[in-house]
Structures are given as C-alpha cells and as structure tokens.
Amino acid sequence: MNDELATIEMIDPNLLQDSREASFVQAMDRHAEPSQKSSQDQISHPYACTTAEPVDLIRIFHPLIQVVRWRRQVDPGIEAYLQQRPVNSHLRNGFRIVIPAGEGLELDFLPDLPGRRAMAQDISLIADIYSELLGCDEIALRLEVSSKAMCPRFHVDRTGIRLICTYRGQGTEWIDDKWVDRSKLGQGSLGLADDASGLFDTRTTVEAAAPFDVLLLKGSLWQENIRRGAIHRSPSVTAGSGPRILLVMDAIWT
C-alpha cells in the first residue's frame, strides 16, 4: 500500500542527537517501572536491536541502527477488546488523525466496548514516548485495519523514523542488510520475487515483531541515512484469522 511508502516532512536538520538523548532519558523517568533489564537485551549487530526498556529506543539515533524493537507484553484486556466483532465492524479500515505532541488519543475514536479505555491509554502512552523521543510538534497517527498484506515486498520507507505497533495479527517483518543487495529493492528487482531477485541470500533471516511490540524503523529521509534504511515488509495475513490491526506514527515538525 502506498501509505507505507509515503513521504513525510523532511527531518528538522537541527534535531541533534545529544540534546534528544538528554531530554528523552529525563522524560522516560515518568514512565519508569521497577523492572530489571533482560539478559536478552542486546545490540546483535549494528543494524537492529531489541530491548525490553523504552528508554533504549534512543538507540535509533545511532547512525548504523535502522531498527529498534521494544518487546512488550500482550495486554489481555486490549487483546480481548480487539477480538470483539463489533470493534472490527466499527473501525472498518481504521482512521488517521494528527495529534499535537503531549496529547493523547480521545476515546471517541475507538468503539465504545469493554477495553476501550485501556486501548486509548496505550496508544496515548506510545504517542507520548514517541514525541518525547523525536522532539516533534505533532504526530500523524493512523490505526490500520487490513485483511491483506499492505506492503508484501521488502522495501525502505521514504520517511524519517516511523513507529509501528501491531496490536492484532503478525508483526512487521524485517531483514538485516548484512547480506543484502539494496540495488534489488523496488524496480531493481526487475519484477522478480524478493527470494529470487538476489536481494538477499540464504544467510539472511527474516525477523518479525510480535503483537504489542513497538518497532522503530528508520527511513531513507532521516538525516545521513539516504543509502540505508530499515528493510521491511508487511507479514501475510492468515486466512480466517481476522484482520490485522496496527498503529503507525510519523513525526511532524511545524
């Protein structure tokens, strides 16, 4: 779907990593919980990293890091909310709005059924963290409801740093670029499937976010990132499993 390829505002050239780190770490104190870092937390390769701590989202500013995955627990209340058939029919294809930084999602955007408040609060929490991370003025927020893979081919978004959280269905997939030939992306594939175009070889493993994980994907419009970018795709939707529901955020500077 073209939406995932859409161009957003160019990144503020004055957005400096050092100043963002200081203010973001301070802001994260508001969301801090008495948890311990998992021993699994690591930067496995200077391309993608996984963490259990939202404060580590700051790693996305490392010049070589293209993907940061914040592992989160599934919220049973939100999961049950999104399983209710009236929710899907009310949401239809979802919605898109622009919210000012620091403001949450109004309840009215979500169907009035048990679990609505938890869902709105979770989206508001993610929006708060995202805006603090990027220091943006507004967030272009959309909730997508889809029964088919929106972007089934591997690609790089022409965006800055995009946030994706899949609440229902399989999470977004990505590949490390260690053994990738980026010239085979897009038209360079000459119409061949990704597994036949030479985009990647057998050493490449397709990684995937889990439901409720928050994923940051760095796009080609991020400063100094023009020939890099997170190589990702939408997962296939399993027949009969119901629609996939995901949250997408893009930062806006006014």
Please, which residue, 168 or 218, has the CB nearer to Fe ion?
A: 218
Residue 157 Cβ vs Fe ion, minimum distance, rounded to whole Å:
4
- What is the smallest separation between the CB atom of 161 and Fe ion, expressed in angstroms? 12
CB of 234 to Fe ion, least distance (A): 8
Closest distance between Fe ion and the C-beta of residue 232, in Å? 6
Among residues 151 and 210, whose Cβ is nearest to Fe ion? 151
Would you say 52 or 151 has its CB closer to Fe ion? Answer: 151
- Output 122-127 pairs: Cβ under 8 A, ≥24 positions apart: 122/75, 122/78, 123/247, 125/31, 126/163, 126/165, 126/214, 126/247, 126/249, 127/99, 127/103, 127/249
Question: Residue of minimal CB distance from Fe ion?
Answer: 4
Q: Nearer to Fe ion by C-beta: 111 or 235?
A: 235
Provide the minimum distance between the beta carbon of 151 and Fe ion in the complex, in angstroms, as a whole number: 5
Question: In angstroms, how far is the first alpha carbon of the chain from the final one?
Answer: 26
Q: Are 212 and 168 in contact (CB under 8 A)?
A: no
* Residue closer to Fe ion, measured from CB, 55 or 143: 143
Measured from the CB of residue 29, what is the shortest distance to Fe ion in angstroms? 32
> 177, 46 in Cβ contact below 8 A?
no
Helix ranges restricted to H, 46-115: 76-83, 85-91
Contact set with Fe ion (CB under 5 A): 4, 151, 157
Q: At what angle do helices 116-134 and 17-28 cross, to 10 degrees?
A: 150
Distance in angstroms (rounded) separating the CA atoms of residues 79 and 89: 16
Q: Give the residue with the Cβ less far from Fe ion, 111 or 229.
A: 229
Kindly tell me which of 28 and 164 has the beta carbon lying closer to Fe ion: 164
What torsion do the CA atoms of 20, 209, 72, 6 make, to the nearest 10 degrees?
Answer: 40
Tell me how far, at minimum, the Cβ of 216 lies from Fe ion, in Å: 12
Q: Which residues pair with 181 in a beta bridge?
A: none
Given a contact cutoff of 8 angstroms between Cβ atoms, the answer to whether 237 and 146 are in contact is yes
What is the rounded distance in angstroms from the CA atom of residue 117 to the CA atom of residue 190?
47
